[in-house]
Amino acid sequence: MATPRTPTKPYVRKQYWNKPCMSWWERAYLPEILRGLFITGGVFMRNMGRWLTFRKGALTTYYPEETRADYAAGNRGKHVLTQRPDGRPQCIACNLCATVCPAKVIEIEAGFDPDDPAHPKYPVRFEIDYSRCVFCGLCVEACPEDAIRMVKEIPNLPTFDRGSLWLAREELLTWSPQSDVAKPYPPKGVGQLPEGSK
């Protein structure tokens, strides 16, 4: 015996969107058009008034002549090399930053400095290719000497020439707040070889 089929309602597709519900005023079309024109025209008049009274009537900037003043406090856009009190870089050319760099943008050429027995290695060249840098900050994490940091500013990079996107040691060494150098120099207890040990 066949079970009696329960009568079902015909399938009605569910509508997931809203029916447009407009008042007759909105459906009359022209008033709403005029309202829109007044909004855009008002913005035009306001901005034009600002330009004509020698103020700025735009939210955008004349990049690169003008950069935004409101970079986030956490923005890290530029590398700096910290310095020892005498102005030499704290970097010991250990190449850890260049090794950890995912974009392989750091190039270091080490040199030997016999006058500083505590830190005989120093970077002759320290160059960063900003055309490839991803600003991940891993170099800062990797540095054992706190020699490389990132600061809020961005370097003045726009250029027509790929080669000038390299920042070299001299440009990276411009940041030198004397009070913030992490390690006193020379470090206590090390570096001072005993008299007559040569």
Distances, alpha carbon 123 to alpha carbons 49, 107, 186, in Å: 55, 10, 18
| Sign for the pseudo-dihedral over CA of 181, 152, 97, 157 | negative
Contact 92, 183 (CB under 8 A): no
| Contact track, another protein, 59-78, x by CB under 8 A | xx-x----------------
HEC assignment per residue over 64-104: CCCCCCCCCCCCCCEEEECECCCCCECCCCCCHHHHHCCCC
Q: Residue 5 CB: number of other CB atoms within 10 A?
A: 6
Residue 168 near residue 127 (C-beta atoms within 8 A): yes
Stretch that binds another protein, among 53-61, 98-106, 107-115, 116-124 (CB under 8 A): 53-61
CB 117 → another protein: shortest distance, Å? 53
Closer residue to another protein (CB): 5 or 55: 55
Which stretch, 1-9, 52-60, 93-101, 164-172, contacts another protein (CB under 8 A)? 52-60
- Please count the residues of this chain forming the interface with another protein, following the rule CB under 8 A: 17
Task: Report how far residue 32's alpha carbon sits from residue 25's, in angstroms, rounded to the nearest whole number.
Answer: 8
Q: Is 8 in the site for another protein (CB under 8 A)?
A: no
Nearer to another protein among residue 41 and residue 117 (C-beta): 41
53 binds another protein (CB under 8 A): no
Identified binder of another protein from the candidate list 26, 27, 31, 41, rule CB under 8 A: 41
Give the footprint of another protein on this chain (CB under 8 A).
Answer: 30, 33, 36-37, 39-41, 43-44, 47-48, 51, 57-60, 62
